[in-house]
Structure 1
Amino acid sequence: MTTTAEYERLLREASLRVTRPRVAVLAAVYAHPHADTDSIIGYVRDDLGEVSHQAIYDVLRALTNAGLLRRIQPAHSVARYESRVGDNHHHIVCRSCGAVADVDCAVGGAPCLTASDDHGFRIDEAEVIYWGLCPNCLPTRSS
């Protein structure tokens, strides 16, 4: 997704009005997966000039509610947003720097949706977060 016309099409298909802030937020999240709200505000302001925090929060909420963005919030972290929606992927988070990366389900379509005991729930999503150190934060090994 790289063009304004494509973002406008997504908004229309989701029955949302096309506005400059909505297009700018979509562009920011597509360009910067797993960005936090403050970063998104910075990217949008670089693009549009002064936009209020509340306007960006409102846009993020509307885009998330419409299914155009996904909000994730790993433990002890701020909320982050991504444009990869519609699948049941997971995340890996660096304990040191907080870097986040997508991880596909390990086997099959979505094996994590089969709980050992669903307690009568109809499960439609699972949130698995792997934790560790990213390659940049791993200690170097001296030989």
Structure 2
Amino acid sequence: MPSKMDCADRLRLADLRVTRPRVAVLQAVHAHPHADTEMIIDAVRSVLPTVSQQTVYGILHTVTAHGLVRRIQPAGSVARYESRVGDNHHHDVCRSCGAIADVDCTIGETPCLAASHDNGYTVDEAEIFFWGLCPNCSTSQQRT
């Protein structure tokens, strides 16, 4: 997990003002990969008990817009946040428990950005979810 100083430096590099709530949100996202907003609010409140829900929502919006955090939302799920940005990785999603794990791009570059037909769009990101069962759910289903 990055230190408060690392988070402050990231905020400064993004031309954002450094505040205790912003640092706490970045640290929470780093500490809890693929966390939903409620999990992040709980983590931030463990450090800053009086921070409002609206403040955390606003910070998540701001740091996502500035590329410090990535927002993902698998079908049928609430939005999740992660600190791994800028590398076009993908995700495994468990159909049973909802666990999410990072998956590196299969060829090492961004082949998924070369769509078979781009319809004239300038594509700069691809979001791919692989659906199945996580190891824990696979094992428990085999036992029953």
TM-score by length of 2: 0.95
Question: 2:136 corresponds to which residue?
Answer: 136
For 2:66, the equivalent position in structure 1 comes to: 66
Unaligned runs of 5+ in 1: none
TM-score by length of 1: 0.96
Does 2:99 align with 1:99? Answer: yes
How many pairs does the alignment contain? 142
Q: Which residue of structure 1 aligns with residue 48 of structure 2?
A: 48
Query: In structure 2, how many angstroms separate the alpha carbons of the residues matched to 1:108 and 1:56?
Result: 34
| Aligned equivalent of 1:39 | 39
CA distance in 2, matches of 1:108, 1:69: 22
Give the secondary-structure state (helix, strand or coil) at the position aligned to 2:2.
coil
Letter in 2 for 1:49: P
Question: Structure 1 counterpart of 2:57, which letter?
Answer: Y
Runs of 4+ aligned residues of structure 1 deviating over 3 Å after TM superposition are none
Alignment partner, residue 30 of structure 1: 30
1:68 aligned partner, one-letter code: L
1:84 aligns with 2:79: no
> Which letter maps to 1:140?
Q
Q: Which of the two has greater helix per residue?
A: 2
Q: Deviations over 1:16-56 (max 9, x none)?
A: 00001100000000011000000000000001112111000
Q: What percent of counterpart residues are identical?
A: 63
CA distance in 1, matches of 2:49, 2:27: 15
Gaps of 5+ in 2: none
Question: What's the C-alpha RMSD, in Å, of the aligned pairs?
Answer: 1.1
